[in-house]
Amino acid sequence: MELGAAAGMTFGIFPILIFLFYLALAGLTVYCLILFIMLARRGVKALDLYIDEKTNKIQ
Protein backbone atom coordinates (compact mmCIF):
# COMPACT_ATOMS: atom_id res chain seq x y z
CA MET A 1 0.00 0.00 0.00
CA GLU A 2 2.82 2.38 0.75
CA LEU A 3 4.23 2.10 -2.76
CA GLY A 4 0.87 2.91 -4.34
CA ALA A 5 0.47 6.03 -2.22
CA ALA A 6 3.89 7.29 -3.27
CA ALA A 7 3.11 6.67 -6.93
CA GLY A 8 -0.17 8.56 -6.55
CA MET A 9 1.69 11.48 -5.02
CA THR A 10 4.12 11.57 -7.94
CA PHE A 11 1.37 11.54 -10.53
CA GLY A 12 -0.47 14.19 -8.55
CA ILE A 13 2.49 16.58 -8.59
CA PHE A 14 3.40 15.97 -12.23
CA PRO A 15 0.39 17.82 -13.76
CA ILE A 16 1.04 20.77 -11.46
CA LEU A 17 4.63 20.96 -12.68
CA ILE A 18 3.45 20.78 -16.29
CA PHE A 19 0.98 23.60 -15.62
CA LEU A 20 3.68 25.74 -14.01
CA PHE A 21 5.97 25.06 -16.97
CA TYR A 22 3.26 26.14 -19.43
CA LEU A 23 2.54 29.22 -17.33
CA ALA A 24 6.22 30.19 -17.32
CA LEU A 25 6.42 29.54 -21.06
CA ALA A 26 3.38 31.77 -21.67
CA GLY A 27 4.95 34.55 -19.59
CA LEU A 28 8.21 34.22 -21.49
CA THR A 29 6.30 34.37 -24.78
CA VAL A 30 4.56 37.60 -23.79
CA TYR A 31 7.88 39.10 -22.64
CA CYS A 32 9.59 38.18 -25.92
CA LEU A 33 6.67 39.61 -27.89
CA ILE A 34 6.95 42.92 -26.02
CA LEU A 35 10.71 43.04 -26.65
CA PHE A 36 10.18 42.30 -30.35
CA ILE A 37 7.58 45.07 -30.66
CA MET A 38 9.96 47.53 -28.98
CA LEU A 39 12.75 46.48 -31.35
CA ALA A 40 10.49 46.86 -34.37
CA ARG A 41 9.45 50.36 -33.28
CA ARG A 42 13.11 51.37 -32.92
CA GLY A 43 13.85 49.91 -36.33
CA VAL A 44 11.05 51.90 -37.92
CA LYS A 45 12.29 55.08 -36.22
CA ALA A 46 15.84 54.44 -37.41
CA LEU A 47 14.61 53.76 -40.93
CA ASP A 48 12.58 56.98 -40.92
CA LEU A 49 15.62 58.96 -39.77
CA TYR A 50 17.79 57.31 -42.43
CA ILE A 51 15.31 58.02 -45.21
CA ASP A 52 14.84 61.60 -43.99
CA GLU A 53 18.61 62.14 -43.89
CA LYS A 54 19.13 60.74 -47.39
CA THR A 55 16.28 62.73 -48.95
CA ASN A 56 17.43 65.99 -47.33
CA LYS A 57 21.02 65.51 -48.59
CA ILE A 58 19.85 65.26 -52.19
CA GLN A 59 17.88 68.51 -52.08
Taking only the tens of pLDDT, the chain with its 59 residues reads: 455 555 556 677 888 899 999 999 999 999 999 999 999 999 999 999 999 998 887 65
pLDDT at 14: 85
Tell which phi-psi region holds residue 35, choosing left (phi > 0), alpha (psi between -120 and 50) or beta: alpha
**Cα distance between the two ends of the chain:** 88
pLDDT at 1: 46
pLDDT at 8: 59
pTM: 0.67
pLDDT at 37: 99
